[in-house]
Amino acid sequence: MARVNPDFRNTLLNYGTEDFSACYNCGNCTAVCSLSDENNSFPRKVIRSSVLGLEDELITTVDPWLCYYCGDCSETCPREANPGELMMSVRRYLTSRYDWTGLSQLFYTSKIWEIAAIVFLALVVLLLFVFFHGPMTTELTAEGGVKLNTFAPWKTIELGDWIMAGILSFFLLSNIFNMYLKMVVKNKMKIPFRFYFTELWALIFNFFSQWRFKKCEPREITFWSNLKSGKYNYWIVHFLLMSGYVILFTMIVGFLGWFQTETIHRWYHPQRLLGYYATFGLIVGVIYFSVLRIKKQNEKSKHSHFTDWTFLILLFITAITGILVHIFRINGLPNLTYYLYVIHLMVLFPMLMIEVPFSKWSHLAYRPFAIYFNNLITRARNREKN
């Protein structure tokens, strides 16, 4: 028998939802949802489980991850129970349940803990620079640029990047494994081994494209009319932001020797073009999503959790300091380059360490994995039926 948690409503309120107890289970939200189907019927079922306190049922369901928060359900709910925001809060709650360290729960439910963790990690970076930085030479390269690699040798920074990437990958992957245990193993699904390979495309495709975002629109409108009317703006800007983030992460972790050079390449060199694309994506994305959140004009931007703002602010400072380091470096301003470089890493490091495995950006991994697990479950069920 399913265990009932009578205090579950309060638990979800801690993760940012508004009171959803007005829901009278009419099912209108599921009827209007363009992503809900007969295999995954939501959000009504998720709301029902939340109202009844069926915590175990929620922990094992994939449905909250299949919602991309278009807000249609909230707009049309006759009881103003705000099902879209509830789905968002359930995702935050699930993230904290997959995370075995308990850090995600702390960061999602306490501003103080999140800010303290950011400050702590920033100070660690500062202290490392105070004790281990190279000479702050004012001598410039033959092209008039700053000798950044003398102050912060790329091999040393790259070693730090690898350690950071190893730690955050370990946490994120172990949390995803926990998600797999809850969604697939706990549901007692027998998945034929070959499905894990044949469904891999869904994982890869959805990770890079976040395609369901685009599907979170009215179904009768064509792709081109949606594009012209701006219906896909959200997906396009989200894609810019995400791809900029992934490119920067790949360059600093995998190709720092190529990225952090003292040679000043021409503007059309791939190193500069990739850097410009990534920075453009981050800045446009941060401004676009911040304006939406400030204006609160549509459902999905009306309700901002403090972790939404923390993430946008960290991303903005990272992008701006990165641009300034680049400008000061190529214009031969050594001290400004060095100080800005330290500040840049003091923001970048906590952002990656906190946001990727424990907070806002973990959904970039959880969503495609949820779709992958869902495909495995659906195929296994269909196979059993036949």
Q: Which residues bind ligand SF4 (CB under 6 A)?
A: 23-29, 32-33, 35-36, 42-44, 47, 67-73, 77-79, 81, 83-84, 87, 216
Cβ-based nearer residue to ligand SF4, 33 or 376: 33
Cβ-based nearer residue to ligand SF4, 43 or 145: 43
Give the distance between the most distant pair of CA atoms in the chain.
Answer: 75
Cβ-based nearer residue to ligand SF4, 22 or 185: 22
Bond from prior residue into 357 cis (ω within 30 degrees of 0): no
Cβ-based nearer residue to ligand SF4, 87 or 248: 87
Least Å from the CB of residue 253 to ligand SF4: 33
d(CA 279, CA 94): 31
Least Å from the CB of residue 92 to ligand SF4: 14
Least Å from the CB of residue 292 to ligand SF4: 15
Least Å from the CB of residue 365 to ligand SF4: 19
Least Å from the CB of residue 47 to ligand SF4: 5
Least Å from the CB of residue 33 to ligand SF4: 3
Least Å from the CB of residue 139 to ligand SF4: 57
Cβ-based nearer residue to ligand SF4, 85 or 114: 85
Cβ-based nearer residue to ligand SF4, 26 or 291: 26
Least Å from the CB of residue 181 to ligand SF4: 25
* Cβ–Cβ under 8 Å, residues 90 and 69: no
Q: How many CB atoms lie within 10 A of CB 11?
A: 17
Cβ-based nearer residue to ligand SF4, 83 or 334: 83
Least Å from the CB of residue 45 to ligand SF4: 9
Cβ-based nearer residue to ligand SF4, 34 or 156: 34
Q: SS3 for the chain, per residue?
A: CCCCCCCHHHHHHHCCCCCCCCCCCCCHHHHHCCCCCCCCCCCHHHHHHHHHCCHHHHHCCCHHHHCCCCCHHHHHCCCCCCHHHHHHHHHHHHHHHHCCCCHHHHHHHCHHHHHHHHHHHHHHHHHHHHHHCCCCCCCECCCCCECHHHHCCHHHHHHHHHHHHHHHHHHHHHHHHHHHHHHHHCCCCCCCHHHHHHCHHHHHHHHHHCCHHHHCCCCCCCHHHHHHCCCCHHHHHHHHHHHHHHHHHHHHHHCHHHHCCCCCCCCCCHHHHHHHHHHHHHHHHHHHHHHHHHHCCCHHHHCCCHHHHHHHHHHHHHHHHHHHHHHHHHCCCHHHHHHHHHHHHHHHHHHHHHHHHHCHHHHHHHHHHHHHHHHHHHHHHHHHHC
Cβ-based nearer residue to ligand SF4, 24 or 170: 24
Cβ-based nearer residue to ligand SF4, 36 or 318: 36
Rama region for 263: left / alpha / beta (φ>0; ψ in -120 to 50; rest)? beta
Least Å from the CB of residue 25 to ligand SF4: 5
